[in-house]
Each structure stands twice: as structure tokens, then as C-alpha cells.
Chain A
């Protein structure tokens, strides 16, 4: 068929892999966001700030120690700590007032963004990856592709698997799932629900921080990224359904692919496709693809 020959397969495959990379990153950020919402109904509008904070802390640690692993751990820990602090200081006692929680989170994201700008300035940073990931991997048709990006896809798959194991195979996961279904009953069974909430905020924050360090290594870190990843998290969970990890994976895939293909083939309308996906999903399933009634 003549039209098949006209397609630039190399471009198409490269763009597809780029989309997959972005989907991996979106999934890691959005999975923390959706986990927090699923259990606590808190729309953490400061999630993008946690991403950016993790990235910056990771950068500092990697400069100081030269170890990428330490950067990963410290970035995740810093974001987790701030997440726990937010739940402890604000969201906890506002339980049930979802709009107020969202507004406070917006206020916190403004302050955090400004303080981070004050400390790290407008410069763009990038973390140094270990040497073994700085190479290229040979792939048919497109010849070679950065190993770091493939690593990111692998890491996202690992994190997804880890979350699935955590939620289905551990006691904490069982408590979390029980809390999503019937919080009152869980409390009645004598579980310290506020403590579980703190734990979930720690996990959600850690996922944002982890994504920050990974994103800061494979892509880059700069002010404004917080808003970008908040937006992607919002759209991913709106598309995938709030509170569902699998939904976040599907949503991340759809959104990232729409964005990447859109930018590659119609550069000035890239973002429009993302919204077409969102509107189309909302038209068919107002609660997202895998969303359930609250």
C-alpha cells in the first residue's frame, strides 16, 4: 500500500517511545495523587510542589554525594516528610471539607513554589545519572534510544508492580483498601485511621518525590514544573478515575500519548488532543474510565 511507505517509521517509533517515557513519569506522579484522593478524598493541589521539591532535594544530594541512589531516596523522603506534615497540620482536622482542603493545598503550593524559586532560582538543573545509564541502547528501525528513558519506563513498571503488591499483599494495603470502601467500619474495628492516613500521605508524597528525581534526571528541573505535573496528574486521574491505580496507568498512557503525538505532528495544537481525550472520557464516563461512585 503506497500510504504506508510514506510514513516516517523512525519518527513514529521515536515519538511512540518518547510518549511511553512521558506516560511512565505521569503514572508515577499521578499514582501518588490518586492514592491520596482514593482513601482520604483530599485533592492534593500541592502534589506538583512535592514533585518539584523532591527533584531539587535530589539534585542537591546528588551534587553533595555523587550518588544517584542517595538522591532518589532523599528526594522521596523529603517529599514524603512534607506530605506527612501537610496532612498533620492542615488536611487532618479539615476532614470531610474537601473544597477547603483543596484551597489550603493551593495556598501551600503558592508558598512552596515561591520559596523554592527563592532558594534555587530560575535556573534549569539536571541530575547526573550513573554512567551505565548515560549510554544509548540499540533498537531496530530507530537505531538507538537513550538508555535513561528506557530505565524510566522500567522503573514506572516496577513502581506500579510495587504499589499493586503493597495494596493487595500487605497489612497496610488491606487497611488502605478497607478505608477506601468503608472508613467508618475501619475505625469501629479499632484501627488508628489517622495514622493510616499519615502513612498514605507519606507514600503519596514519596511517589511524587521519586518521580521528581527521576524526571529531573531524564528530563530537567525548573520552576513551573510543579504546575505542569499538577496539571498532568489532574488530567490523568480525571481520565483514569480518581482513586484507581490501574486507572492512573491507563490515564497516563492515554494522556501522554495524546500529548506527545500531538506535539510531534501538529506542534502548535499539542495540548488540544489531551483535552479531546479528557472531554471524550467525561462524555462517556463522568467518573473516569475506572472511577467508582464516591
Chain B
């Protein structure tokens, strides 16, 4: 009964996400939905590393930026900075660059542990930012790249809100499932063992440095995919996309959602995107950073596991309360499952 309910909940959740564009306007579909899923995928790469390897990397926005810059370099020529490729090849190049960059960052970062990883990845992230700012040969300096076209496949233009949303949903779902699959493989289990007790794992003969670097490679591919989506959404990339603010935004989203579970990445990205989009109505847009900074401090101080941690705590408390009162309400449970299932049946693949 338990696993079946869980499966129903997953299918229901996916159904809701698929049906979402039917009920929302273009802004909510593209700039909240699409952005959440793209940004959330980059956050997922951070959460994957934090949750299953114990390494908190602040260079994930950088890896996404590497993919974005590679894609822009290959598809949106500016002046002398150009190498025009068709979009499938350009996307492959972008993802390849992201994985290589992530492996390289991992190679440097895994020589250290704990808080040092945080410092080194932050240093790398900021170094890359200054490089994009200084360098005009590859990164076109301060201006970066503009008018990066989203591809058109079989007549479907992915720059339009709904196709873009479904593209993001497909990529995000694939990454999410991939992460959940990986952590159950021998490789994923070894990573978690490494997180819990590196010394013991080393004694068992595992190459712990190689495992960590490979984890960075996996995170690199995920961040690269998110970075590609991000560039297609904004149609541009500039040093600001990989700057300290973007790096910290990603960290805020991941910490808001919770660093323990993959779902936290998307939950955090959603809350962050909504707050960012609508905070203007309540606070001076210039002071957005103060608000989000204070929220971030509050989450770190009061709920270190973020929203997902809060949600789990509430569910645990509710379950304890239910067991205590001895009245499990099967009707409510079944209704919940069915309602979600009904949502799941309204697939809209025709779009």
C-alpha cells in the first residue's frame, strides 16, 4: 500500500506539472514555470553534491555558465567572437564543456575537505566571473552574448512559452530521475558511504578521490543542462549570469528548499523565483537583496534543512498525531490519491 501510494503521488505530481500550462498565463508558464525548472536543475546539481557526497560546491552556477557561454559562442556569433554550429552540435559542445569544467573543478576541490571545498569553489566561481569580465576573445567581456536563439524543431519554436516549459519539464524530470537512480547504484552508494566515513571507505579499497571527481562530473552534466535552458530562456548570457549574485542566488534557492533531498532544489527554485517575481509589489525592488538575505539567514538559523525539512517535520508530527488518536482516515488518503491520479490522466502531449 505504501509504495503504491507513493507512486500515485509521483504520477499525480507529474500530471499537475504537465497540466499546469493549461491553467496559467504566459508569464507564469515561461518566467515562473520554465525558470523554476531550469534554475532548479542547476540547483539540483548543487543539492546532488551536497546531499550525497557532502561537498557544498558554489561553482555550479559557473559550470552552468560555461555551458551557456559555449552554447552562445557556437550559436550567436558576435563580431570576431564566433564559431557557428547547428544547435544540436552546439548543445553537445556546451554540455561537453560543462562536464569537463566540472571535472576540472572537482579535481582541484577534492584535494580538500569540508569548509575548504566551499571556499575553493567560491574562489573558482568568482575567478571565472572576473575572467568573463576581462576577456573579450572568448567571452566578449562586459557585454557577453545577446540574441542567442532557442532552437526550432519540427516547426516547434522553443522560445515560445509553452514549448519552452515542456522542454524544461522534460529535462528537469530526466535529471531528477537520473539523480534518484544514480544514488541507488553501487556508485551512488559508494558516494554516500564516502560522505559518511571517507576513512573507512578508503580502507575498503575505494578510490575516494576518483569517486568525488566523478560526482562532480555528474553534477556538471546536470548543471550544464540547466545552463543551456537558462540561456535559451534569457536569450543572452553575460558576466552577470555567473557573478557573485547569481552564485549566491543559486545557493539561496538550494538552501531554501533544503540540501538533503533532490526535490528541495526545485522547491527552493520555485519559492525563490516567485519571491523574485513578485517581491516588487511589496518591497522596493532595489531592496530585494535585503529581503532575500534576511529570509536566507532565517532559514539557516531556524530550519537548516529548508522547506523540505520543514515539510518532513510537519508530516512526521502529523503522522505521530494520527497514530496517537488512532484514527487513520483511509477515505481522505484514497481521495487524495485519486484526485491526483485524475490530474495525471490529463496528459497534454498534443501541444
Binding site for B on A (CB under 8 A): 41, 43, 45, 90, 98-100, 102-104, 106-108, 110-111, 113-115, 117-118, 227, 231, 234-235, 238, 242, 267-272, 274-275, 278-279, 282-283, 286-287
Give chain B residues whose Cβ lies under 8 Å from the Cβ of A90.
Answer: 301
Q: Name the CB-closest residue of B to A103.
A: B300
B114 touches A99 (CB 8 A): yes
Asked whether B301 lies within 8 Å of A267 as measured between CB atoms, the reply is: no
Residue in A231, A235, A282 whose CB lies within 8 Å of B108: A282
Give me the 10 closest cross-chain CB pairs, A-B, nearest first.
Answer: A110-B293, A111-B293, A107-B297, A114-B289, A107-B296, A271-B130, A286-B111, A231-B126, A114-B290, A268-B135
Which one of B112, B118, B137, B290 contacts A111 once the chains associate, using CB atoms below 8 Å? B290
Q: B287 to chain A: which residues have CB within 8 Å?
A: 114, 118
In the bound complex, how far is the Cα of B255 from the Cα of A241, in angstroms?
A: 29
Q: With A268-B134, A269-B131 as given contacts, are A113 and B289 in contact (CB-CB < 8 Å)?
A: yes
Given A103-B255, A110-B248, A118-B286, check contact A43 B127 (CB 8 Å).
Answer: no
* B118/A110 in contact, CB under 8 A: no
Instruction: Known A104-B297, A268-B137, A271-B130; judge A111-B289 contact (CB<8 A).
Output: yes
B138's closest neighbor in chain A, by CB?
A268
Q: Inside 8 A of B108's CB, which chain A residues have their CB?
A: 278-279, 282
Across-interface contacts of A274 in B (CB, < 8 A): 127
> For the complex, what is the distance from the CA of A278 to the CA of B123, rounded to whole Å?
10
The contact sample of 14 A-B pairs, CB cut-off 8 A, is: A43-B118, A43-B119, A90-B301, A110-B293, A111-B290, A114-B293, A115-B290, A118-B290, A238-B120, A242-B116, A269-B134, A270-B134, A282-B108, A286-B112
Q: Taking the complex as formed, is B198 at the interface, i.e. its CB lies under 8 A from any CB of chain A?
A: no
Q: Is the CB of A43 within 8 A of B115?
A: yes
Majority SS at the chain A contact face: helix
Asked if A104 meets B301 with Cβ closer than 8 Å, knowing A110-B248, A234-B119, A269-B134, the reply is yes
Smallest CB separation, B3 vs chain A (Å) = 34
- Write the nearest CB–CB distance from B189 to chain A, whole angstroms: 23
Residues of A within 8 A of B122 (CB): 45, 231, 234
Say yes or no: is B163 at the interface (Cβ < 8 Å to chain A).
Answer: no
Nearest chain-A residue to B104 (Cβ)? A279
- The reply to whether B118 and A102 contact each other, CB–CB distance below 8 Å, is yes
Query: Do A238 and B116 touch across chains, with their CB atoms under 8 A apart?
Result: yes
Question: What's the nearest-Cβ distance from chain A to residue B6, in Å?
Answer: 31
Is B271 engaged at the interface, CB distance under 8 Å to the other chain? no
Measured in the bound complex, the distance between the Cα atoms of B308 and A202 in whole Å is: 37
The 8 A CB mask of B76-114 against A (1 = contact, 0 = none) is 000000000000000000000000000000001001101
Contact count A vs B, C-beta below 8 Å: 102
B244 in the interface, Cβ–Cβ < 8 Å?
yes
In the assembled complex, which residues on chain B have CB atoms less than 8 Å from the CB atom of A242? 116
Q: In the complex, which of the residues B114, B120, B244, B289 contacts A227, with contact meaning CB atoms closer than 8 Å?
A: B244
Q: Are B126 and A111 in contact (CB under 8 A)?
A: no
B22 close to chain A: CB less than 8 A: no
Chain A residues whose C-beta falls within 8 Å of the C-beta of B134 in the assembled complex: 267-271
Q: A231-B126, A238-B120, A286-B111 are in contact. Are A106 and B304 (CB under 8 A)?
A: no
CB-CB under 8 A from B300, the residues of chain A are: 100, 103-104, 107
Q: Is B136 among interface residues, defined by CB-CB distance under 8 A?
A: yes
Given A118-B287, A268-B134: A235 and B123 within 8 A (CB)? yes
Specify which of B56, B122, B251, B300 lies most central, judged by the most chain A CB atoms within 10 Å of its CB. Answer: B300
Q: How far is the CA of A238 from the CA of B122 in the complex (A)?
A: 12
Task: Tell me the nearest residue of chain A to B122, going by C-beta.
Answer: A234
| CA distance in complex: A189, B304 (Å) | 34
Do A227 and B135 touch (CB < 8 A)?
no
B111 close to A282 (CB less than 8 A) = yes
Residues of A within 8 A of B111 (CB): 282-283, 286
Residues of A within 8 A of B136 (CB): 268
Residues in B neighbouring A227, C-beta threshold 8 A:
126, 244
Report A-chain residues with C-beta under 8 Å of the C-beta of B301: 90, 104
B143 to chain A, nearest CB (A): 14
**B294 in the interface, Cβ–Cβ < 8 Å?**
yes
Which residues from A are CB-within-8-Å of B114? 98-99
CB distance from A121 to the nearest CB of B (A): 10
Contact at A275–B120, with CB atoms within 8 Å?
Answer: no
Among residues of B, the one whose C-beta sits closest to the C-beta of A242 is B116
Q: Does B292 belong to the interface (CB within 8 Å)?
A: yes
Give Cα distance in the complex from A172 to B49, angstroms.
Answer: 41
B107-159 with Cβ < 8 A to chain A: 108, 111-112, 114-116, 118-120, 122-124, 126-127, 130-131, 134-137
Taking CB atoms, residues of chain A closer than 8 Å to B119 are 43, 234, 238
A277 to chain B, nearest CB (A): 11
Which of A98, A115, A231 touches B115 (beta carbons < 8 Å)? A98
Give, as a whole number of angstroms, the nearest-CB distance from A283 to chain B.
7
- Is the beta-carbon distance between A275 and B127 smaller than 8 angstroms? yes
For window 255-296 of chain B, which residues contact chain A by CB distance below 8 Å?
255, 286-287, 289-290, 292-294, 296
Given contacts A100-B300, A106-B248, contact A271 B131 (CB under 8 A): yes
- Contacts A99-B118, A115-B290 known; 16 new A-B pairs at CB < 8 A: A43-B119, A100-B300, A102-B118, A104-B301, A107-B296, A107-B300, A108-B297, A110-B289, A110-B292, A111-B290, A111-B293, A118-B287, A231-B123, A268-B137, A269-B131, A272-B131
Q: In the bound complex, what is the Cα–Cα distance between A37 and B18 (angstroms)?
A: 49
Contacts of A45 in B (CB 8 A): 122
What residues of chain A lie closer than 8 Å to B116, measured between beta carbons?
Answer: 238, 242
